[in-house]
Each structure stands twice: as C-alpha cells, then as structure tokens.
Amino acid sequence: MTTTDVPAQRTTPVGHGSMPRKEDERFLRGHGRYVDDVVLPGMLHGAVLRSPHAHARIVSLDTSAAQAHPKVRAVITGQTLQGLNLAWMPTLSHDVQAVLATDKVRFQGQEVAFVVAEDRYAARDALELIDVEYEPLAPVVDARRALDSDAPVIRDDLEGRTDNRIFDWETGDRAATDGVFADADVVTTQDMIYPRVHPAPMETCGAVADMDPVTGKLTIWTTTQAPHAHRTLYALVAGLPEHKIRVISPDIGGGFGNKVGIYPGYVCAIVASIVTGKPVKWVEDRSENLMSTSFARDYHMHGEIAATSDGTILGVRVKVLADHGAFNGTAQPSKFPAGFFGVFSGSYDLRAAHCEVTGVYTNKAPGGVAYACSFRITEAVYLVERMVDVLAHELGMDPAELRMRNLLRPEQFPYRSSTGWEYDSGDYPRALRAALDLAHYEELRDEQQRRRERGELMGIGVSFFTEAVGAGPRSHMDIMGLGMADGAELRVHPTGKAVLRLSVQTQGQGHETTFAQIVAEELGIPPEDIDVVHGDTDQTPYGLGTYGSRSTPVSGAATAVVARKVRERARLVASAMLEVDPGDLEWEKGRFFVKGDPTSGTTIAEIAMAAHSDLELPEGVEGHLDAETVYNPPNLTYPFGAYVCVVDVDPDTAQVTVRDFVAVDDCGVRINPMIVEGQIHGGLADGIGMALMQVMAFDSDGNHLGGSFMDYLLPTTMECPSWRLGQTVTPSPHHPIGAKGVGESATVGSPAAVVNAVVDALKPYGVRHVDMPMTPAVVWRAMQGRPLRTDLAIT
C-alpha cells in the first residue's frame, strides 16, 4: 500500500476544491441517460403480476387469456423459470429468494408472473387477464410472534425448516458486560423500534435486457450500484459465461442502497429477452418499488446502559429482533449477518459491551440493509444515542454534558472498541464543542426554560455518532465470496488528457467530478481534462460498487494510488527526457524539475507525449503513461459528527416543527466541500423523514400500508429547515489522501438528534422515549402517556 508519501495531516480540499460538477451539464439539459431512457430496436416491455396476499398457496395459475392478448409476446411464470432452474435465486445473505412464485406467495407484492408485450400499457393490460387462484394462509406479521411455537412456517421450501428463525448472532464480551452491569450504580433500559422504512429513490428500479441470439452476448442496462458484482452473480445464477455478459449502469436516479441487490424483475427481463429474442425493458412503478424492493431498518431493540451515579458510562447491552421479511436478502458482507451493528458502542469509551441479534422471517418483502445505513450503523447509532439520552434523563443530567464527559479522547486513537472495531482517528470533543457553539446551545437551554414556563414545548436534541465506512479489508469482508477490494485504471493520453476507469458507480454523489479531482491533485492535470468512466463492466476494472459510503475510502484510495504509480512512471520518462537520474528530479504539481534548477523541467503533458514517442526509455519502462491497481483497504474509515436539532411542538396539535438543525461533520480531508455539504443536506432530510414521517406499516393480514407516496411520506421543502453545517478535519491516517467516507453520515446521525429533540420537548409530560415516526398522532399519544408504536407490530 502506497500511503507513506502522503502529507498525513493535510486538511485542505483536494484538487480544485469546491468546483462545480462535471456531470451537471447533461442533467440540466435533460440529457442524462437513465434506464427508462434507453430505447433499442424491437424493444418489448415487461410487467410483473404481484401477489395480493401476504401468505397464500398458489392453487392454479391461468395465463391463457393474457397470452391471447394481441400485443403480448410472452408470459413467463414460475414454471417457465423452473425449466431454466431460475425460479429461485441466491441472495446476498446465502438464502434463496423466489424470482416468480411456484409454491406459494410469502409477501404482498411478491412476483408471480411476468408479461412481455409490445408497449408498457399493453403489458399492464395483460396482467389483468391472468387468473390466479390462491388459498390464503395465516401470515406472520409481527416479528415478535415469528418464533412462537404455533407460528406458521413461512419458508417450508427450505429442507427441514420448522420455524422462522434465520440466525442468532452475537458480539462483544457477555461475561465482562454482565460484570460491568452488576457493579454499576445506575442501569437503565429502554425498548425501541427502528421502524421499517424504504430508501425510495426518485427513480425506481428497472432494466433493459438484450440477449443477442447471434453472438450469445447479454447486455443489460440496469439500475445497479454494483455492476461488476451483478455481472458475476448473473454468470453464477443464470449459467451464462461471464465474458458474454455486459452490465451497464447508466445515470442512476438515486440509489440509497435500494439498487444494490438483484431483483426478480431483472432476472425476468433477462429470461424474457432470451425467450423472445428481443430486448426487454422492465421499469417498476412507485408502488412496486415500495412494496417489493429492499426496505430498511425494522429492528426491534432492547437497550440497556450502565453508568456510575456521576455519569460515567460503563457499558451497553442490547438485544435485537430483526425482521428480515420472507427471504433473507439483506445486503452485507458475508460474515456480518447483522451488518456492522457491532459498532453500537458508539463514540464512548466503554468498559464492555455485548449484543445479540436474532433474525426472523415474516410475510413481508426482503431487504433490511439500505437507505444509507452503512450496514446497520443507522440502527447502532440510534440505539446508543437514544440510550445516552435515556441515561441523561434518569440522572437528571444535560445530555450534551453527559456526552462530553464520556466521548473518546483524541489521544486514544487508533482506538479498539469493546466490540473489536479499530477506529482510525477522531477528535470528538472538538466536534461536539463546535456544534454546541454553532447552535448556541447554552442560550437555547435558557430559551427553553423561559418557554416551558409559558407552557410552550421546545426541544433540543443532540446526537454524536461514529460511522464505520469503506468496506473493506478482503481478509474478513466479502460479498458472496467476492473480496471488497476495488480496481482503478488511469491512462494519460499523448496530449496530456486522461481517462480514469473505476469500479464504483455514482448515483448522484458526484464521482465524475471528485475522482477527477483526486487525479488532478496527484498529477496536476485539470479535472476537466480527466474523463471518469464507470458503470460499464466491459470498460472498467472489477470492483464491488458504491454503497456503505465506500467509494472514497476504497476507490478514492485506489485512484490516488494509481495516479502515484503514473507519476512514478512519469518520473522515469522525465529522467530520460532531461538526462538526469530519477532521484535528482523533484515534483511540483504537474511538473518534474531538476533539483536545484527549477527552470530545467518538463510538464506531465510533455512527459505523456514523450512516453508515446521514440524517446529511448530506461530499462524496464515499457512506454506509454498508464497504470492500474487494486486497492485492498487496511481498515474502514471512521468519520464522525455532532448534530444539534431544535424543535417546536404544538401543544394542541402535537405537530413537530424542526426549527434549526446544526451538523458538524468530520470526514477527514474533504475532496470537494461543496459536494460533501450536498451529501450532508440530503442525509439530514432523510433524518427528518425517518424521525417524523416515514413508516411502512402492515395490518394484521399483512397488507402493506405504505405502498405509495400518498401514505409513505417523504419530506418536502416545507418540512426541512435551512441546514446549518460546520466541520472539523481529522484525516484518516491509513487513507492515501486522508479522506473518509461521508455519504451516509447524516442519515446515520440525524434521526437520533430529531427524536432526542422531540423527547426533550415532551419532558414536561414525563416522556422518556417515543418511537419513530413521530407524527402528530404518535406525539399526541405520547403526551397522553402512551409513547410506544405498538401499532407497528400487532401485539
């Protein structure tokens, strides 16, 4: 790993800093190219027939009327797929998922049949002509009843399966934690639900599959955050040779973790293209997206926190019941069934911590890891930041003061947490102080006091989080056996322009700009002269894609490393050009010159031309100016942040208004501060949405109650305040440019701040906890002494 020539304490932006984005021009003109914009000659349109039942046996399936529709070209059923051994597909969690149901349906909205027609309207028409007879079965809706001895077994397709338990997983030191709790002055417990929500990217999932019957090559344009992994999985699942599969991820209208996995619709589109010999487009509508693609969260958590009576936090103990839906499709590294929930010890120096997670099947859509969760860190941070506030409530201490007293200190880094995670760097007290100052915390508390005396409800919520992003070291992190390293290739053309090829896949995070900036920083080539190519598996090196805020930690590192390789090649070429020893050359951005003689030098563009010319090159230098690398990160990066949220609650209507939100983030070196701030703004809106509005609820029959934007509420301009951001810069010591990931930080850190603020506002009512989403009805109920969301799971 080339990390030694890094100015390790660099704290300024990289390349051209807050430069405008290179990708904007096409989006501003309506010239972005998203999956549904792709049109191919002879292209057909697919539509999915979905189950109206949560749990039912399929008695019969009659497609004859649909097949007779004049515009229908094919109707694919589970039986069709069975003939191809594709009725089921493997998931990222070593389970299987039905592509099209053959035996029974296991959640409402599950895929039952796939119609292929000449246009998208006809395909929908034909769905109505399919006749399915169902025999309804009792559904499992409440995760807390999934393990009851009389609970229906959802996965009777799995040999020997007699219950709905998916896994039991634990981390930390149970005995040590029990010991800490036994000796503590104060032990406080709190149950809480992180409700099922959905990432709901503006663009839904879709694909255009084109199997060329002559060449045998499959090209699939698809909404994927991980095109290379998809290619390999299609090869493994469909038995197609991998060099005959080309996955193209064009412009993606937001991903947020929704577009990591492979959905049945993609497989159906591929099969339909094989069956019809034509390209087949499948684009789901919003209801399908919400009901059947990857949900997020759905953790039922029982938290315990132990402390001394003067407020030293000693330990945290957690039990989690994880609702994974009908198929375990959770996307995370193979060895981490609960993702990185293990970082639930948070930003505090605990003596011991322990948690147990039990995953269960229910009659709901699969998913779990999505929506900027960094593999369950949303849940971990929410748990610990709620527990710290609950402890502050019990001790009668100010929650900011309690945090300040317990935060890890800068000199403790690298810090090995009590659950075994090695935090790379941090200066937590400085970040918290910055946030409190920016929010005028002390004055807010005074104002709150005055308002309370007038009967007004104002709340101040603090959260402090440590993220863990950049998965990850190949030794223990893989997706389906694929190590989480990422490649990069950099080629400088003879005229000094460059092309950088990446394995990660932007969905709006600005990679085309920021990765060019990294090369610009390393080689002195202007960003506009560097084309960033990604999202096409025929054109880019292998890698695991973009999610878990891993692009900057892994591919960003790869980019810096590959640029430095090119620079070292350039040094050798320059030494031949200038007829000096390579060691006698000094680098200034964009140019090598002879030590002690700055006038004798040559630019990177001149070197590029010379590298392609008849210049006699030193022994072992092949010519041309390019390099490739694979970056296997030595550790994750651990960005952190301190958030303060201020809310007003209407005592008559229980309506919550977020008045102010201060976010201080530290993601190490900021490549492009403008883009970092945009990432944070978006994540803060997620926090408002989750805390106050979003939930996918189910009734006792398993009917999905959040299946459209009429019910699944997303924040608009009116719910979001004008965000106020601050920053500190604590570089990652192991990263080549000191940069940490940041994309998910705000989504991870902000919900707890909002909830803590609302609970703080309700203090006069003696409320200690309220479950999300804190709609007026929920807050009102809390004010009447009923704070828990029992309606989320029928008891």
Q: Which residues ranging from 474 to 513 are in contact with another protein (CB under 8 A)?
A: 507-510
Separation of alpha carbons 204 and 536, rounded Å: 20
Please choose, out of 55-63, 431-439, 479-487, 677-685, the segment that lies near another protein by the rule CB under 8 A: 677-685
> Which residues from 506-565 bind another protein, rule CB under 8 A?
507-510
Q: Closest approach of Cβ 708 to another protein, in Å?
A: 5
Residue by residue, DSSP assigns 268-304 as HHHHHHHHHSS-EEEE--HHHHHHHS-EEEEEEEEEE
Q: Which of 254, 410, 651, 726 touches another protein (CB under 8 A)?
A: 254
Distance of closest approach, residue 733 Cβ to another protein, in angstroms:
30
CA dihedral sign, ordered 741, 747, 752, 758: positive
Answer for which of 7, 11, 12, 24 binds another protein (CB under 8 A) is 24
- Counting beta carbons within 10 angstroms of the beta carbon of residue 450, is it exposed (0 to 12), middle (13 to 18) or buried (19 or more)? exposed
Site residue total, another protein (CB under 8 A): 59
**What HEC string does 397-451 produce?**
CCHHHHHHHHECCHHHCCEECCCCCEECCCCHHHHHHHHHHHHCHHHHHHHHHHH
Contacts with another protein, 106-125, as mask; x by CB under 8 A: -------------xxx----
Q: What are phi and psi of 221, to 5 degrees?
A: -85, 125
Give residue 570's Cα distance to chain centre: 37
3-state SS class at 197: strand
Give which of 110, 126, 111 is closest to 77, Cα–Cα: 111
Binding positions for another protein, 198-237, rule CB under 8 A: 200-204
Nearer to another protein, 315 or 683 (CB): 683
The closest of 496, 494, 515 to 505, measured between CA atoms, is: 515
- Nearest one of 394, 405, 459, 465 to 660, comparing CA atoms: 459
Residue 77 vs residues 135, 136, 213, 285, 516: alpha-carbon distances, Å = 18, 20, 22, 20, 46
3-state helix, strand, coil split of the chain in percent (to 5) is 30, 25, 45
Quick check: 30 binds another protein (CB under 8 A)? yes
Which x/- pattern, by CB under 8 A, does the window 48-77 give for another protein?
------------------------------
Binding-site member from 682, 731, 773, 787 for another protein (CB under 8 A): 682
Which of 39, 175, 182, 214 forms a contact with another protein (CB under 8 A)?
39
Stretch that binds another protein, among 109-117, 266-274, 285-293, 624-632 (CB under 8 A): 285-293
Closest CA to 608 of 491, 489, 488: 491
Span 428-447, contacts to another protein by CB under 8 A: none
* Cβ proximity of 762 and 779 under 8 Å: yes
Rounded CA separation 485/554 (Å): 7
From 210, 251, 379, 427, residue interacting with another protein (rule: CB under 8 A): 251
Which lies closer to another protein via its Cβ, residue 399 or residue 743? 743
The correct pick among 13, 139, 227, 253 for binding another protein (CB under 8 A) is 253
Shortest distance in whole angstroms from residue 19 CB to another protein: 10
Tell how strand 352-360 and strand 422-423 pair up. Answer: unpaired
Among 136, 678, 733, 776, binds another protein (CB under 8 A): 678
Is position 765 an interface residue for another protein (rule: CB under 8 A)?
no
Give the separation between CA 397 and CA 528, rounded to whole angstroms. Answer: 53
Stretch that binds another protein, among 102-110, 176-184, 634-642, 676-684 (CB under 8 A): 676-684
Give the residue with the Cβ less far from another protein, 20 or 216.
Answer: 20
Q: Cβ closer to another protein: 80 or 775?
A: 775
Near another protein by CB under 8 A: residue from 245, 675, 695, 762: 675
16 binds another protein (CB under 8 A): no
Q: How far apart are CA 364 and CA 117, in angstroms?
A: 29
Q: How far is the CB of 207 from another protein (least distance, A)?
A: 16
Residue 289 or 466 having the CB closest to another protein? 289
Tokens of 439: 């929010």
- Window contacting another protein (CB under 8 A); options: 79-87, 381-389, 407-415, 709-717: 709-717
DSSP H or E stretch at residue 265: helix 264-276
The one-letter amino acid at 721: P
Task: Return residues touching another protein (CB under 8 A).
Answer: 20-21, 23-34, 36-37, 39, 119-121, 200-204, 251-256, 285-287, 507-510, 674-675, 677-685, 708-710, 714, 716-718, 720, 722-723
